[in-house]
Amino acid sequence: MTQQEIPLSPIATGLSGSIPTDALCRTWWEQCDMLDNIKQHSQLVAEVATTLAMLAVECGRGNTTDLPGADFVQAVRAAGLLHDLGKTYTIVHGGNHSQIGAAWTMELTRNPAIAQGVMHHVYWPGQLDLNMHFLPLAIIYADKRVRHDALVCVEERFADLMDRYGTNERSRGWIERSRRQNIELEHLLSIFLEEDIHAYPFDRRRLVG
Protein backbone atom coordinates (compact mmCIF):
# COMPACT_ATOMS: atom_id res chain seq x y z
CA MET A 1 0.00 0.00 0.00
CA THR A 2 1.42 3.40 -0.92
CA GLN A 3 1.28 6.14 1.66
CA GLN A 4 -0.82 9.17 0.91
CA GLU A 5 1.34 12.11 0.00
CA ILE A 6 1.09 14.87 2.61
CA PRO A 7 1.54 18.29 1.01
CA LEU A 8 3.98 20.69 2.63
CA SER A 9 2.98 24.11 3.89
CA PRO A 10 3.70 26.75 1.23
CA ILE A 11 4.78 29.13 3.97
CA ALA A 12 8.41 30.10 4.49
CA THR A 13 9.81 30.38 8.00
CA GLY A 14 10.40 34.16 8.20
CA LEU A 15 8.55 35.21 11.33
CA SER A 16 7.86 38.86 12.01
CA GLY A 17 6.14 38.64 15.38
CA SER A 18 4.31 41.90 14.69
CA ILE A 19 1.40 43.41 12.81
CA PRO A 20 1.89 42.82 9.08
CA THR A 21 1.54 45.52 6.46
CA ASP A 22 -0.92 45.14 3.61
CA ALA A 23 1.98 44.41 1.25
CA LEU A 24 3.20 41.56 3.43
CA CYS A 25 -0.29 40.09 3.69
CA ARG A 26 -0.45 40.12 -0.12
CA THR A 27 2.83 38.26 -0.45
CA TRP A 28 1.32 35.61 1.83
CA TRP A 29 -1.76 35.46 -0.41
CA GLU A 30 0.58 34.53 -3.24
CA GLN A 31 2.46 31.96 -1.17
CA CYS A 32 -0.83 30.31 -0.28
CA ASP A 33 -2.07 30.33 -3.89
CA MET A 34 -5.08 32.48 -3.07
CA LEU A 35 -7.59 32.58 -5.91
CA ASP A 36 -8.37 35.96 -7.46
CA ASN A 37 -11.99 35.99 -6.33
CA ILE A 38 -10.90 35.24 -2.74
CA LYS A 39 -8.37 38.09 -2.94
CA GLN A 40 -11.14 40.48 -4.01
CA HIS A 41 -13.40 39.21 -1.25
CA SER A 42 -10.60 39.49 1.36
CA GLN A 43 -9.75 43.03 0.28
CA LEU A 44 -13.33 44.20 0.71
CA VAL A 45 -13.74 42.39 4.05
CA ALA A 46 -10.56 44.16 5.19
CA GLU A 47 -12.01 47.54 4.10
CA VAL A 48 -15.21 46.97 6.09
CA ALA A 49 -13.25 45.73 9.12
CA THR A 50 -10.90 48.73 8.85
CA THR A 51 -13.87 51.10 8.89
CA LEU A 52 -15.26 49.41 11.99
CA ALA A 53 -11.85 49.70 13.69
CA MET A 54 -11.54 53.39 12.72
CA LEU A 55 -15.00 54.08 14.11
CA ALA A 56 -13.91 52.38 17.33
CA VAL A 57 -10.83 54.61 17.54
CA GLU A 58 -12.96 57.71 16.83
CA CYS A 59 -15.28 57.01 19.72
CA GLY A 60 -12.43 56.19 22.08
CA ARG A 61 -12.89 52.44 21.99
CA GLY A 62 -9.98 51.56 19.73
CA ASN A 63 -7.58 50.27 22.36
CA THR A 64 -9.45 47.16 23.29
CA THR A 65 -6.52 44.88 22.50
CA ASP A 66 -3.90 47.04 24.26
CA LEU A 67 -2.70 48.44 20.97
CA PRO A 68 -2.33 52.15 20.16
CA GLY A 69 -4.95 53.36 17.66
CA ALA A 70 -3.02 52.96 14.40
CA ASP A 71 -1.71 49.51 15.36
CA PHE A 72 -5.19 48.50 16.44
CA VAL A 73 -6.64 49.49 13.07
CA GLN A 74 -3.87 47.70 11.14
CA ALA A 75 -4.24 44.55 13.27
CA VAL A 76 -7.95 44.40 12.47
CA ARG A 77 -7.23 45.15 8.79
CA ALA A 78 -4.55 42.43 8.56
CA ALA A 79 -6.94 39.88 10.07
CA GLY A 80 -9.45 40.85 7.37
CA LEU A 81 -6.85 40.45 4.63
CA LEU A 82 -5.78 37.07 5.99
CA HIS A 83 -9.11 35.60 7.10
CA ASP A 84 -9.44 33.26 4.11
CA LEU A 85 -5.74 32.39 3.82
CA GLY A 86 -6.51 28.67 4.20
CA LYS A 87 -9.21 28.61 1.53
CA THR A 88 -7.27 27.30 -1.47
CA TYR A 89 -5.69 24.54 0.58
CA THR A 90 -9.03 23.24 1.82
CA ILE A 91 -10.61 23.47 -1.61
CA VAL A 92 -7.89 21.05 -2.76
CA HIS A 93 -7.37 18.92 0.34
CA GLY A 94 -10.57 19.34 2.40
CA GLY A 95 -10.76 20.30 6.07
CA ASN A 96 -11.53 23.55 7.82
CA HIS A 97 -10.21 26.70 6.18
CA SER A 98 -10.49 28.80 9.37
CA GLN A 99 -8.29 26.39 11.30
CA ILE A 100 -5.61 25.92 8.67
CA GLY A 101 -5.64 29.66 7.91
CA ALA A 102 -5.26 30.51 11.60
CA ALA A 103 -2.38 28.04 12.00
CA TRP A 104 -0.59 29.61 9.03
CA THR A 105 -1.31 33.14 10.28
CA MET A 106 0.16 32.23 13.65
CA GLU A 107 3.22 30.77 11.96
CA LEU A 108 3.65 33.86 9.81
CA THR A 109 2.89 36.62 12.29
CA ARG A 110 3.31 35.07 15.73
CA ASN A 111 0.45 37.36 16.59
CA PRO A 112 -2.30 35.39 18.37
CA ALA A 113 -4.81 38.25 18.18
CA ILE A 114 -4.66 38.24 14.38
CA ALA A 115 -4.63 34.43 14.25
CA GLN A 116 -7.67 34.39 16.51
CA GLY A 117 -9.52 36.66 14.09
CA VAL A 118 -8.81 34.17 11.31
CA MET A 119 -9.68 31.17 13.47
CA HIS A 120 -13.10 32.46 14.48
CA HIS A 121 -14.19 34.38 11.40
CA VAL A 122 -17.22 32.14 10.88
CA TYR A 123 -18.70 32.03 14.38
CA TRP A 124 -17.73 33.40 17.78
CA PRO A 125 -18.05 30.64 20.38
CA GLY A 126 -18.42 32.92 23.43
CA GLN A 127 -20.15 36.10 24.55
CA LEU A 128 -20.43 38.92 22.03
CA ASP A 129 -18.38 41.26 24.19
CA LEU A 130 -16.94 43.99 21.96
CA ASN A 131 -14.74 45.37 24.72
CA MET A 132 -13.02 42.03 25.07
CA HIS A 133 -13.16 40.64 21.52
CA PHE A 134 -13.46 43.50 19.08
CA LEU A 135 -11.01 42.12 16.50
CA PRO A 136 -12.55 38.68 15.86
CA LEU A 137 -16.09 40.05 16.11
CA ALA A 138 -15.30 42.80 13.58
CA ILE A 139 -13.94 40.18 11.16
CA ILE A 140 -16.98 37.92 11.60
CA TYR A 141 -19.31 40.81 10.86
CA ALA A 142 -17.26 42.27 7.99
CA ASP A 143 -17.16 38.85 6.32
CA LYS A 144 -20.97 38.73 6.50
CA ARG A 145 -21.31 42.10 4.76
CA VAL A 146 -19.34 41.00 1.68
CA ARG A 147 -20.79 38.50 -0.79
CA HIS A 148 -17.97 37.57 -3.14
CA ASP A 149 -16.70 41.06 -4.03
CA ALA A 150 -19.84 43.10 -3.33
CA LEU A 151 -21.08 44.91 -0.25
CA VAL A 152 -24.44 43.51 0.85
CA CYS A 153 -26.55 43.46 4.01
CA VAL A 154 -26.40 40.54 6.44
CA GLU A 155 -29.67 39.03 5.21
CA GLU A 156 -28.50 39.01 1.57
CA ARG A 157 -25.23 37.38 2.53
CA PHE A 158 -27.04 34.65 4.45
CA ALA A 159 -29.55 34.05 1.67
CA ASP A 160 -26.55 33.34 -0.56
CA LEU A 161 -24.86 31.12 2.07
CA MET A 162 -28.11 29.19 2.51
CA ASP A 163 -28.37 28.69 -1.27
CA ARG A 164 -24.81 27.43 -1.60
CA TYR A 165 -24.22 25.54 1.65
CA GLY A 166 -27.67 24.83 3.14
CA THR A 167 -27.78 21.35 1.64
CA ASN A 168 -29.18 19.51 4.67
CA GLU A 169 -30.95 20.15 7.97
CA ARG A 170 -27.69 20.24 9.92
CA SER A 171 -25.93 22.76 7.70
CA ARG A 172 -29.06 24.92 7.55
CA GLY A 173 -29.08 24.91 11.37
CA TRP A 174 -25.45 26.13 11.51
CA ILE A 175 -26.14 28.86 8.96
CA GLU A 176 -29.22 30.02 10.86
CA ARG A 177 -27.25 30.08 14.12
CA SER A 178 -24.60 32.22 12.44
CA ARG A 179 -27.23 34.52 10.91
CA ARG A 180 -28.75 35.16 14.33
CA GLN A 181 -25.32 35.87 15.78
CA ASN A 182 -24.64 38.45 13.08
CA ILE A 183 -27.99 40.19 13.53
CA GLU A 184 -27.20 40.51 17.23
CA LEU A 185 -23.65 41.59 16.44
CA GLU A 186 -24.91 44.33 14.11
CA HIS A 187 -27.11 45.64 16.90
CA LEU A 188 -24.26 45.54 19.44
CA LEU A 189 -21.80 47.17 17.03
CA SER A 190 -24.27 49.99 16.41
CA ILE A 191 -24.41 50.73 20.14
CA PHE A 192 -20.67 50.27 20.64
CA LEU A 193 -19.65 52.44 17.68
CA GLU A 194 -22.52 54.96 18.03
CA GLU A 195 -23.48 54.50 14.37
CA ASP A 196 -26.29 52.66 12.60
CA ILE A 197 -24.01 49.94 11.24
CA HIS A 198 -26.73 48.36 9.08
CA ALA A 199 -27.12 51.64 7.15
CA TYR A 200 -23.48 52.73 7.30
CA PRO A 201 -22.02 53.57 3.85
CA PHE A 202 -18.88 51.44 4.08
CA ASP A 203 -18.02 52.06 0.44
CA ARG A 204 -18.04 55.84 0.73
CA ARG A 205 -15.50 56.23 3.44
CA ARG A 206 -11.86 56.99 2.76
CA LEU A 207 -9.97 53.92 3.85
CA VAL A 208 -6.42 53.46 5.04
CA GLY A 209 -3.77 51.59 3.11
Site residues for Fe ion per CB under 5 A: 84
What b-and-e string marks burial along 166-205, b requiring 16 or more CB atoms within 10 Å of the CB?
A: beeeeeeeebeebbebbeebbebbeebbebebeebebeee
Q: Between residues 47 and 84, which has the closer beta carbon with respect to Fe ion?
A: 84
- Which residue has its beta carbon closest to Fe ion? 84
CB of 191 to Fe ion, least distance (A): 26
How many other β-carbons are positioned within 10 Å of the β-carbon of residue 30? 10
CA 140 to chain centre: 6
Q: Between residues 84 and 186, which has the closer beta carbon with respect to Fe ion?
A: 84
- At 150 the three-state DSSP class reads strand
Q: Between residues 53 and 82, which has the closer beta carbon with respect to Fe ion?
A: 82
CA 100 to chain centre: 14
Q: Between residues 16 and 171, which has the closer beta carbon with respect to Fe ion?
A: 171
CB of 36 to Fe ion, least distance (A): 16
CB of 37 to Fe ion, least distance (A): 12
CB of 111 to Fe ion, least distance (A): 19
